[in-house]
Amino acid sequence: MASLKFNNIYLNDWLTISGPLESNSKLKKIDLKMDDYYYGAKTFEQAEAKMQNVVIQKLLERNKLTYGDIDFLVGGDLLDQIGATNYASINIPISLLGIYSACATFPESLIIGSMILNDRSVKKIVGVTSSHNLSAERQFRYPIEYGAPRPHTSTFTATAGISTLLSRDIGKIKIESATIGKVTELGIKDANNLGAVMAPAAARTLYEHLTDLKRPLDYYDLILTGDLGCIGGTIFKEYAYKRYNLKIKKHLDAGCELYVKSQETYSGGSGPACLPLVLFNKILTTNKYKKILIIGTGALHNKTFVNQKCTIPAIAHAVSLEVE
């Protein structure tokens, strides 16, 4: 059994900060905005830590909460040793659980937060995640000013930070159930086609979710995958049909829904912040969908293993959300 059901656990509030490119994209609403990639910090890595720190502080401020009201902080990011989350938490006296599932970190934070909230003595949890285009470029690809030609299958790491507030108090969105993914790889080695790396993991988690909870595909108004990109999204649907006989119709991919064409991001956006950014600042603003299944997809890309000619494994976690 890979799935869990939750009782009365709600996503009460959230706050996002979006980068310069994201603020002028297909998003319908902007919470906080960064005018440049440094965000007043000395380096891009420090800027990412600051983004996380700010979204946590502002979320607490808006809900009139103090650090003492929050029992646990659950979060992670893409940087080595989840550096952004660790440095963001230096001046935040809340017990921290650092997590990593690459770009599936956001649903993982919701799942772990909801699991902790099953304990009745726990009142409130804050989840946090982020990605920063330039700190990710530096870590995973080339120096920032180096102009390596990119293939059309490549995606663009979104710059954003997201914080969420979880509790048992009735709120806007109910976290109804979740499925924890299994590591999946189908022999793809191309770090410029991460959509193809992650698509089988997303399809597998979707299939296990539906099987475990005995639900038909049209139970959901929308299946929102994290950052497969436009090309990865097509591969996902085709693979799900051929492998699991799932004919997916009501599907959107957050990566494909983020940028406009002139922003030249090729297959679309990616990064742990991509899925929550599109979910909160685009999908939920429309009030069109009641039952949403989000599937965060993470390419477990490790440079050392890839250099040693290993394939890239992927993982996908799904969370079922019910909009009240």
Partner 1 sequence: MNKDEYQKLVKELSPKEPKLRNAFVAFLVGGLVGFIGEVIVNILMESFGLSRVDSYAWLAFILILFATFMTALGKFDNWVAKAKCGLIIPTTGFAHSVQSAAIDYKKDGLVTGIGANIFKLAGSVIIYGIISAFFLVLIKVMLYG
Stretch of residues binding partner 1 (CB under 8 A), selected from 108-116, 136-144, 275-283, 284-292: 136-144
Please say whether the beta carbons of 138 and 144 come within 8 A.
Answer: yes
- Letters for 138-177 (x = contact with partner 1 by CB under 8 A, - = none) are x---xxxxxxxxxxxx------------------------
Beta strand 10-18 with 160-167: parallel, antiparallel or unpaired? antiparallel
Interface pick for partner 1 out of 23, 234, 263, 302 (rule CB under 8 A): 234
Distance CA 287, CA 285 (A): 6
Stretch of residues binding partner 1 (CB under 8 A), selected from 66-74, 184-192, 209-217, 301-309: 184-192
CB of 126 to partner 1, least distance (A): 30
* Residue 41 near partner 1 by CB under 8 A: no
Going from the C-alpha of 72 to that of each of 75, 88, 213, the distances in angstroms are: 10, 15, 29
* Residue 193 near partner 1 by CB under 8 A: yes
CB of 149 to partner 1, least distance (A): 5
**In the chain, alpha helices (H):** 44-62, 83-88, 105-117, 133-140, 194-212, 229-244, 274-278, 303-307
Please say whether the beta carbons of 195 and 209 come within 8 A.
Answer: no
Phi–psi pair at 60, nearest 5 degrees? -65, -45
Q: Which is nearer to partner 1, 126 or 228 (CB)?
A: 228
Q: Which is nearer to partner 1, 66 or 308 (CB)?
A: 308
Phi–psi pair at 122, nearest 5 degrees? -90, 130
CB of 239 to partner 1, least distance (A): 7
> Considering only CA atoms, which of 94, 93, 91 is closest in space to residue 74?
94
Interface pick for partner 1 out of 4, 97, 115, 186 (rule CB under 8 A): 186
H or E, element range at 105 = helix 105-117
Binding residues (CB under 8 A) for partner 1: these are 42-43, 138, 142-153, 186-188, 193, 196, 200, 231, 234-235, 238-239, 242-243
